[in-house]
Structure 1
Amino acid sequence: MLSVPVPHYFRTIFSSFCVLLMHMRTLMWSFGSIQYRFLVDGVWRCDDTKPIVRDEYGLISNEMLVTLVENNTHPAVQLEPPPIRRMNLDEGTILTTMPPEPPSRNSGMQIAVFRHRVSEILLHNTIYDVVPVSSKIAILDARLPVKQAFNIMHDEGLALVPLWDDGQGTVTGMLTASDFVLILRKLQRNIRVLGHEELEMHSVSAWKEAKLQYYGGADVAGMQRRPLVHVKDSDNLRDVALTIIQNEISSVPIFKSSTDISGIPLLNLATLPGILKFLCSKLQEQPEGYPILRNQISSIPIGTWSQHTGRASTRQLRTSGLSAPLITCLDFLLEDRISSIPIVDDNGSLLDVYSLSDIMALAKNDVYACIELEQLTVENALELQYQVNGRRQCHTCLSTSTLLEVLDQLSVPGVRRLVVIEPMTRFVQGIISLRDAITFLLG
Structure 2
Amino acid sequence: MVLRRFAWPFGGQRASFCGSFTGWRECPMGLVGTEFQVVFDLPPGLYQYRFLVDGVWRCDDTKPIVRDEYGLISNEMLVTLVENNTHPAVQLEPPPIRRMNLDEGTILTTMPPEPPSRNSGMQIAVFRHRVSEILLHNTIYDVVPVSSKIAILDARLPVKQAFNIMHDEGLALVPLWDDGQGTVTGMLTASDFVLILRKRNIRVLGHEELEMHSVSAWKEAKLQYYGGADVAGMQRRPLVHVKDSDNLRDVALTIIQNEISSVPIFKSSTDISGIPLLNLATLPGILKFLCSKLQEQPEGYPILRNQISSIPIGTWSQHTGRASTRQLRTSGLSAPLITCLDFLLEDRISSIPIVDDNGSLLDVYSLSDIMALAKNDVYACIELEQLTVENALELQYQVNGRRQCHTCLSTSTLLEVLDQLSVPGVRRLVVIEPMTRFVQGIISLRDAITFLLG
TM over 0.5: yes
Label 1:281 to 1:61 Cα distance change in 2 as closer, same or farther (>3 A).
closer
CA deviations on 1:25-69 (whole Å, 9 max, x unpaired) are xxxxxxxxxx99999999999999999999999999999999999
In structure 2, C-alpha distance between the alignment counterparts of 1:426 and 1:332, rounded to whole Å? 22
Indicate conservation of the 8 Å contact 1:344/1:350, yes or no: yes
SS at match of 1:137: coil
Greater RCO structure (CA 8 Å; 6+ sep): 1
Partner SS, residue 97 of structure 1:
coil
Secondary structure at 1:419 match in 2: strand
Find the counterpart in structure 2 of residue 31 from structure 1: none
CA contact (8 A) 2:70 2:115 kept: no
Distance 1:323 1:70, change over 3 A: farther
In 2 relative to 1, CA 334–74 (structure 1 residues): closer, same or farther, beyond 3 Å?
Answer: farther
Q: Are the equivalent residues in 2 in contact too, given 1:86–1:95 (CA < 8 A)?
A: no
Please report how far the alpha carbon of residue 113 of structure 1 lies from its aligned counterpart in structure 2 after TM superposition: 0.4
Deviation of 1:101 (Å): 3.8
Going from structure 1 to structure 2, the CA distance change for 1:353 and 1:152 (only over 3 Å counts) comes to same
Displacement, 1:215? 1.6
Cα pair 1:67 1:76 within 8 Å, conserved = no
Pair 75,90 (structure 1): closer, same or farther in 2 beyond 3 Å: closer
| CA distance 1:16–1:161, shift in 2 (3 Å) | closer
- SS at the partner of 1:184? helix
Does the CA contact (< 8 Å) of 1:330 and 1:356 recur in 2? Answer: yes
Structure exhibiting the larger radius of gyration computed from Cα positions: 2
Q: Per the alignment, do residues 190 and 233 of structure 1 end up closer, same or farther by CA in structure 2, a change over 3 Å counting? A: same
Task: Name whichever of 50-59 and 296-305 sits farther off.
Answer: 50-59
Q: Percent identity?
A: 100
Give the conservation status (yes or no) of the 8 Å contact 2:57–2:108: no
Quote how far apart the aligned CAs of 1:244 are: 0.1
Secondary structure at the aligned position of 2:202 is classed as coil
Question: Aligned Cα RMSD in Å?
Answer: 13.0
Shift in CA distance, 242/436, structure 1 to aligned 2, threshold 3 Å: same
CA deviations on 1:157-199 (whole Å, 9 max, x unpaired) are: 000000000000000000000000000011xx54544220110
Distance 1:49 1:343 in 2: 58
Residue 132 of structure 1 deviates from its aligned partner by 1.9
Matched position secondary structure for 2:442: strand
DSSP 3-state at the match of 2:194: helix
Describe the shift of the 1:61–1:99 C-alpha distance in structure 2 as closer, same or farther (beyond 3 A). closer
Which has the higher mean CA deviation after the structures are superposed, 217-226 or 72-81?
72-81
Moved more, 380-389 or 42-51: 42-51
Q: Which secondary structure state, in structure 1, belongs to the residue aligned with residue 98 of structure 2?
A: strand
Contact 1:145 1:203 in 2 (8 A): yes
Unmatched tracts of structure 1, length 5 or more:
1-14, 19-34
- Alpha carbons 1:46, 1:59 under 8 Å: kept: no
- Residues 229-262 of structure 1, C-alpha deviations (whole Å, 9 max, x = no match): 0000000000000000000000000000012222
Tell me the equivalent position of 2:137.
124
Contact map agreement 2:109 2:301 (CA 8 A) in 1: no
Structure 2 CA distance for aligned equivalents of residues 379 and 91 of structure 1: 63
Q: CA deviation at 1:134?
A: 3.4
8 Å Cα contact 1:221/1:334 also seen in 2: no
- Deviation of 1:135 after TM superposition, in Å, equals 2.0
1:41 to 54, 59, 65: 54
Q: Deviations over 1:144-165 (max 9, x none)?
A: 0000000000000000000000
2:158, 2:211 within 8 Å by CA — same for their partners in 1? yes
Q: 1:349 to 1:139 in 2, by over 3 A?
A: same
> Closer, same or farther in 2 for the Cα pair 1:258/1:87, shift >3 Å?
closer
Q: Deviations over 1:403-443 (max 9, x none)?
A: 00000000000000000000000000000000000000000
Number of aligned positions between the proteins: 411
Shift of 1:362: 0.1
Contact between 2:337 and 2:388, CA under 8 Å: does it hold in 1?
A: yes
Q: Which sits farther off after the overlay, 79-88 or 99-108?
A: 79-88
Q: 1:398 to 1:90 in 2, by over 3 A?
A: farther
Q: Structure 1's 65 and 219: CA in aligned 2 closer, same or farther, altered over 3 A?
A: farther
Change (3 A) 1:239 1:68: closer
Counterparts of 2:361 and 2:239 in 1: how far apart (Å)?
37
Structure 2: give runs of 5+ residues left out of the alignment. 1-14, 19-47
In structure 2, relative to structure 1, the CA distance for the partners of 1:248 and 1:269 (3 Å cut) is: same
| Distance of aligned partners of 1:50 and 1:109 in 2 relative to their CA distance in 1, 3 Å threshold | closer
Check conservation: 2:50, 2:74, Cα contact below 8 A.
yes
Report the TM-score, using the length of structure 2 for normalisation: 0.74
Following superposition, the deviation at residue 131 of structure 1 comes to 0.2
Alignment deviations for residues 80-137 of structure 1 (CA, whole Å, 9 cap, x no partner): 9999999999999999999964334311100000000000000000000000243210
State the SS of the aligned residue for 1:239: helix
* Deviation, structure 1 residue 214: 1.4
Mapped to 2, the partners of 1:348 and 1:177 lie a distance apart of 27
Tell me if structure 1 keeps the 8 A contact 2:61–2:105. Answer: no
- Give 3-state SS (helix, strand or coil) of 2:233's partner: coil
